[in-house]
Structure 1
Amino acid sequence: MKQVVENKCFGGRQLRFTHSSEVLDCDMHFSVYLPPRAETAPVPVLYWLSGLTCTDENFVAKAGAQQFAAREGVALVAPDTSPRGADVPDDPAGAYDFGLGAGFYVNATEPPWNRHYRMYDYVVDELPALLARALPLDNGRAGICGHSMGGHGALIIALKNPDRYRSVSAFAPICSPLNCPWGEKALGGYLGTDRRQWEANDTTALVRAATERLPILVDQGEADEFLAEQLRTELLVAASAEAQYPMEIRRQPGYDHSYFFIASFIGDHLRFHGQYLNK
C-alpha cells in the first residue's frame, strides 16, 4: 500500500493509494478521505462504489462529499470499479458496460473473467482488511453507498452482509440486473447463462429473501435517461412492499443521472449514514 496523492480538504486529508491486490491479481488504486477527527481517534467509514466508466477519482472530485464527511466525522473510501492492467481482459467490442470500468461488484465464475473480476471479494474483504491495518478506521462502524452500477453494488453487498454494515444508500441504482440490458450482459458474461445464479446479485431478489433489516435510503432522479430501461426503480418499490422491508425511496423531480444529481443530495446521505455510524 503506497500513498501517491495527498490534499488537505475541509480540515482533513484526501488521499490516494496504490497496492497489489491478491484477490484481483493486479495493481489497484483507491481513494480515502480522512476527516479531522481521524487525527485523534479511529473513525467510522463509508464505502462509496462508483458507476460504469468511473475510477476511484470521480466521486472525490465531483460529489463534494468531503465537507459533509468532515462534519459527521466519517471517513470515505472509494475503490476503483474494476480490475485494471495490461493483462486484465476487456469487452471484446470495447463497450463501456462490460469489462474495464464495469466490474459490477460480483465474483466472476466464467473464464477469462474469473481470474481478475472478483470485485465483490475485493470490496467486502480485501480492501477493508488492508485499510484496518494502515489507517485509523473503525470497520465495526461501516456503511456503504454508491451510484448506478455502484448503487447496485452497495445494495447487494449490504443485503448479503447485514452484520458488516450499519446503513446503506444509493443514487439511481440498477435495482434488478435480472431485468435490464446492462445487468443481463454483465451477469451473463461474468456468471454464465444460468439465471438462477444471478439472483444472489439482484437487489430485488435479495430484498424478498432478507431476514434482517438495514436502514436504506435511495434517491432516484425522475429525469434520469436510464430510469425506464436500465434502473427499474419500480421493481425495488414493489419488492420492498412485498417483503415488508422498510426503506426510503425518494423520487427527485428534474434530476438526471449525473454527478450534479449526486452533489445535490450527498449531504442528505452523509447525514443519513452519520446517525447510524456515530452510535
Structure 2
Amino acid sequence: MDLTNLSQAKVFGGWHKQYQHHSAVLNCDMRFAVFLPLKATSSSPVPVLYWLSGLTCTDENFMQKAAAFHKAAELGIAIVVPDTSPRGEGVPDDPEGSYDFGLGAGFYLNATQEPWKKNYQMYSYVVDELPKLIEANFPITDKRAIAGHSMGGHGALTIGIRNPERYVSISAFSPICHPTTVPWGEKAFRHYLGEDKSTWQQYDAVELLKHASTKLPILVDQGDADGFLEEQLKPQTLVDVAQKQQVPLTLRMQPGYDHSYFFIQTFIGEHLEFHAARLLAED
C-alpha cells in the first residue's frame, strides 16, 4: 500500500510524522498524522489513541494545538489523527461553501446519497481501513482507544459505542451528543443520508445508547462557557440515557471553558491518563 511521508519532527524523544496515502474506501488521497513515542519499537509496539477532530479541522489541529505529546511520551502511547473528511479534485463540497457540511465536515459516517456516497465513507475509513494501514506499517498494536472534539467527539462516541470489541475506552471534548436533533447534525445527515430519519440513528450517540450493551468507560469534558452548548451539543441528553442504560459515563462540566483548543490543552493529559489505564492494562 502506498504511503508517502510528508513531514516529520522529533518531539519529547519520539516523532510526529505526517503521511499521505490513497484510500480505496474514500476514493481519494488522504492525509493522517501519527505520534510515535520513544518506547515504540518493532520489538515493543505500543497501544494507540485515535483522535477525531471537529468541523473545519484537518489532521494538523490536534497535533499542533493540543499539547498532548509530553504526556503521551511519558505514558508510551501512540496517537493517530486522520483528516476529518475526504478531499481533493473531484470530491464534492457544499455548493455554498459553508463550514458545517462537505469538505472538513465528514461527520464520521458512511454517506448513502449522491453525490456524496462515492467519497464520504469516513466511518469505514476510521473503523477499518486506517487501523489496518497503521498496524501494518508502524510499531502500534491493535489495542485502541478513541477520542475526539465536537464533530469528532460525536464520531468517537458513535464509533466506540458501535464497536466495543475494537476499543478499550472512549472520551470526548464538547461532543455533538444528539446530532439528529440539532442544526449541525440535521443538515449533514439530510444531505449524506437522505430524508429517512430512521437511518440517522446509527450515527447518534444518544439513540445508540438507548439500545447499546456497551460497558466501555466514557469520559466527556464540556465547558460551560461554550457558545455551542445549548443549541448544538446537548450533553445532558447523553447523560440521561447513559444513566438509564447503566453505561459508565462521566460528564465533567468545566466552569469558564469554551469550545477551543485552550480547553483541550487544559484537560488532554487527564484524558490520556484515562485511556492509558485501559490501554496499558494487562489483558
TM bin, normalised by shorter chain, reads over 0.9
Match of 1:244 among 234, 246, 262: 246
Alignment of 1:69-80 (within 5 A): 69-80=72-83
Aligned match of 1:167: 169
Distance across 2 between alignment mates of 1:73 and 1:25: 33
- Which residue identity does 1:137 align to in structure 2? I
CA deviation after TM superposition for structure 1 residue 212, in Å: 2.4
Match of 1:43 among 43, 46, 57: 46
Aligned match of 1:119: 122
CA deviation after TM superposition for structure 1 residue 237, in Å: 1.3
- Which residue identity does 1:77 align to in structure 2? V
CA deviation after TM superposition for structure 1 residue 132, in Å: 1.1
Aligned match of 1:158: 160
TM-score between the two structures when normalised by the length of structure 1:
0.99
- Which residue identity does 1:197 align to in structure 2? T
- Which residue identity does 1:234 align to in structure 2? Q
Aligned match of 1:188: 190
CA deviation after TM superposition for structure 1 residue 239, in Å: 1.1
Aligned match of 1:93: 96
Distance across 2 between alignment mates of 1:162 and 1:251: 25
Tell me the secondary structure at the aligned position of residue 187 of structure 2: helix
Match of 2:12 among 10, 13, 17: 10
Tell me the secondary structure at the aligned position of residue 250 of structure 1: strand
Match of 2:107 among 78, 81, 104: 104
Alignment of 1:135-154 (within 5 A): 135-139=138-142, 141-154=143-156
Contact 2:217 2:247 in 1 (8 A): no
Distance across 1 between alignment mates of 2:177 and 2:268: 19
TM-score between the two structures when normalised by the length of structure 2:
0.97
* Structure 1: tracts of 5 or more residues without a match: none
Distance across 1 between alignment mates of 2:201 and 2:79: 29
How large is the RMSD of aligned CA atoms in angstroms? 0.7
* Structure 2: tracts of 5 or more residues without a match: none
Aligned length: 278
Tell me the secondary structure at the aligned position of residue 210 of structure 2: helix
Distance across 1 between alignment mates of 2:33 and 2:53: 12
Off by >2 Å, runs of 4+ in structure 1: none
Contact 2:35 2:79 in 1 (8 A): yes
